[in-house]
Amino acid sequence: MNADDLRRWDNEHVWHPFTPMLEYRADETPIIVAADGFDLIDIDGNRLLDGVCSLWCNVHGHRVPEIDQAIRDQLDRVSHSTLLGLANEPSILLAKELVDHAPRGLTKVFYSDSGATAVEAALKIAFQYHRQKSPKQEHRDLFVTLDGAYHGDTIGAVSLGAMDVFHATYRDLLFRKLTVPTPVTYRVPAGHTPESYLDYCYAQLQRVIAENHQKIVAFVIEPLVQGAAGMLVHPEGYLKRVRELTHAFDVPLIADEVAVGFGRTGTLFACEQEDVCPDILCLAKGITGGYLPLAATLTTDEIYNAFLAEPKEGKTFYHGHTYTGNPLGCAAALASLRLFDINDVLGNVRTIGARLHERLNQFSQHCRFVGEVRQRGTMIGIELVKDRESRQPFSADIRLGQQITRAARRRGAFIRGLGDVVVLMPAPAMPVALIDRLCDIAFESINEVMERLSNSP
């Protein structure tokens, strides 16, 4: 197919997500036609190292023989059948595997098809649970989230959000929520030191839960790292404190591990690192190794049992999706989970995480525009500032992240920015040699753009 025709049709007909389309249409964005290992290949034959693992979902690389074969084998059986009134073998086998790997107590699996829908299902499950448990608590109508929260782009998930750039437009469509301050200290309010601000965050966490627990449906958190907020890494022990307080005040805890699950933070699930067992766990992105859209919402017997009743009682969970429990996606997920053990993927995360830490530390010491490097496992955020001492940000008008993305593309890697934060998210199975290549390209691209901005009038 002619590249010029495809670009023209792309600009004429495709509306890209989270993309300023006027800017996009002026750019010769690569059109991906193939992949090989950890590289994407565009229509012109250029190779791009996949530095954000295809929006944080790829795990083992592209064209992985074991996952490819699992999907082919499933295609020879059945590609899709509904879970509404029927079951299918791959969805049953995957549910068993997820329960076996998940934090203890999570025994029931509800399937959907994306991170946002996994969260949306969790919200409705929690809300309905309080109205059907014994005794009923129909007055619970508030969710609690953190400042800077991002949990997806369906209306319920957006209601949880606290990022104006994504959520402000839809304010009149959303339900009410409570927020607690995010426990990060790169910038703190006037009158606080980093230490006093963390104390304040913990105090506010306790106050909000204690004062409102009888009205709270659930506390929703991205464990350890808030991804879309700029890779904000929580201090050690914060997640555990959230679990202790929610347990003490009988508030269900929803752990949104859509971005942080499946090895990103160094363990299969982030909750493991603080021995936290949530009441509801949301999974997507890496669940199929980055191959097919699939999501899962796991919960406990206690919550599930509140929905068990005769049909006439009306306690059924009336929620679902056409492709719920899709056999192809479940087959890919089963193959991906097996590869975690076969290839010691979590061991590789520790290895490349250490290499990333070393390279990032060296770069931050030599680049005066690096305000802070945030890392947990393979999740990286490099915040760039005009002045390191004052932590003054760049003007949003210069589109810093987009400039660096373009510079990296010219060097053969695909990375993305969140405002002034350059995001690196290598696949958990990426080898060390490619980690070095990714770092080289990212650092060279940052230096190029910073030098150009420094020399501009």
C-alpha closest to that of 286 among 256, 264, 254, 270: 264
**CATH of residue 76:** 3.40.640.10
Residues 312 and 253 occupy one common structural domain: yes
Read off the pLDDT of residues 163-207 as tens digits, 9 standing for 90 and up: 888 888 999 999 999 999 999 999 999 999 999 999 999 999 999
CB 126 within 8 A of CB 218: yes
Indicate whether 2 belongs to any domain: no
Indicate whether 163 belongs to any domain: yes
Residue-level pLDDT at 374: 98
Under DSSP, is residue 108 helix (H, G, I), strand (E, B) or coil? strand
193: its two tokens: 């030191």
32: Cβ contacts below 8 Å, ≥ 6 apart? 40, 41, 42, 43, 48
C-alpha closest to that of 447 among 399, 403, 395, 415: 403
Kindly tell me if the per-residue pLDDT of 353 is higher than 70.
yes
CA–CA gap between residue 348 and residue 120 (Å, rounded): 33
Residue-level pLDDT at 145: 98
Domain that includes residue 373, residue range = 31-60+344-455
Of 342, 373, 393, the last residue of a domain is: 342
First-residue to last-residue Cα distance in the chain: 43
- How much is the average pLDDT of 46-75? 98
Residue-level pLDDT at 1: 75
Is the whole model's pTM more than 0.95, yes or no? yes
Under DSSP, is residue 292 helix (H, G, I), strand (E, B) or coil? coil
Of 311, 342, 373, the last residue of a domain is: 342
Residues 193 and 302 occupy one common structural domain: yes
Of 324, 342, 360, the last residue of a domain is: 342
Confidence tier at 457 by pLDDT (50, 70, 90): low
Kindly tell me if the per-residue pLDDT of 413 is higher than 70.
yes
Residues 278 and 224 occupy one common structural domain: yes
Mean pLDDT across the chain: 96
Residues 210 and 352 occupy one common structural domain: no
Residues 251 and 329 occupy one common structural domain: yes
Indicate whether 448 belongs to any domain: yes
Residues 74 and 223 occupy one common structural domain: yes
Q: Into how many domains does the chain fold? A: 2
Indicate whether 6 belongs to any domain: no
Indicate whether 170 belongs to any domain: yes
% of the chain beyond a pLDDT of 70: 100
Please say whether the dihedral angle defined by the alpha carbons of residues 350, 284, 374 and 365, taken in this order, is positive or negative. positive
